[in-house]
Structure 1
Amino acid sequence: MSAVNDPLELLSNKGNRTPTFLGPLWNPVTCGLAGVGVAIFVNWGFRRPVLSGIQKHIAFGAIGVGAGTYFDQKRNEYLAKRDAVLRHYIELHPDDFPVTERKKYGDVLESWVPVR
């Protein structure tokens, strides 16, 4: 940990954050399972056997995986654009974001004296 809090450091990833194992898989897998669930629900609604028409389950699952991947890409693009705008604003207005020294809880909190 650095001793100084620089606002631009907070918006940059210098290799100190690694994605989790399920991070890139979460949206596609969840949307794929939701697609299979939709196919099961449609079969149930038409009073057919739940797993009949397996090609429909595969198709809805594939559409769900594609939609989850698309949503993940759009979210990453949005977050990257937002971080770029914030970084640019901080670079243009450095007076509004001064570099601050890190403080410990002991320096910030007042000493506690019990009242009895």
Structure 2
Amino acid sequence: MSSVKVNDPLELLANKGNREPPFLTAIWNPLIGTVAGFGVVMFANWGFRKPVFAGIQKHIAFALIGGAAGTFFDGKRNEYAAKRDAVLRHYIELHPDDFPKTDRKKYSDVLESWVPVR
């Protein structure tokens, strides 16, 4: 018989390195910022009735600015998430009675048996 695993609320907020983030997580915001910066210049050129790739130096500059903004906002989001997790972890440590450790349940234990009606 398998052993029953106990879910600890603090374990949910701890990063033990057992979960690897997806590949695009690290580059998603800088990539979107770069594409948006490049697209803004293309849209402005189109609005002024110029060729969309005219003034390639503006495309490069705005792509760099957009990438930097994406990196900045990605760092700010990570700081916010770290602070939020620290506050939640601290609250759980101060109020252990409100967050009891529970036994892990499987779907087969929770769901009722299903019989198809034909």
| Structure 1 unaligned regions, length at least 5 | none
Task: Quote the Cα distance in structure 2 between the aligned partners of 1:73 and 1:20.
Answer: 17
Task: Indicate how the Cα distance of structure 1 residues 20 and 115 shifts in structure 2: closer, same or farther if over 3 A, else same.
Answer: closer
Runs of 4+ in structure 1 off by over 4 angstroms are: 112-116
Quote how far apart the aligned CAs of 1:30 are.
Answer: 0.8
Counterpart for residue 17 of structure 2: 15
Matched, 1:77 2:79: yes
After superposition, what is the alpha-carbon deviation per residue over 1:11-69, rounded to whole angstroms, capped at 9, x for unaligned?
A: 01111111222111010011100000000011111111111100000010000000000
Computed over aligned residues only, the root mean square deviation of the Cα atoms, in angstroms, reads 1.7
Counterpart for residue 67 of structure 2: 65
TM (norm. structure 2) is 0.90
Task: Quote the Cα distance in structure 1 between the aligned partners of 2:100 and 2:76.
Answer: 32
TM (norm. structure 1) is 0.92
Q: Which moved more, 1:14-23 or 1:28-37?
A: 14-23
Counterpart for residue 88 of structure 2: 86
Identity over the aligned pairs, expressed in percent? 74
| Structure 2 unaligned regions, length at least 5 | none
1:99 is aligned, of 81, 101, 115, to 101
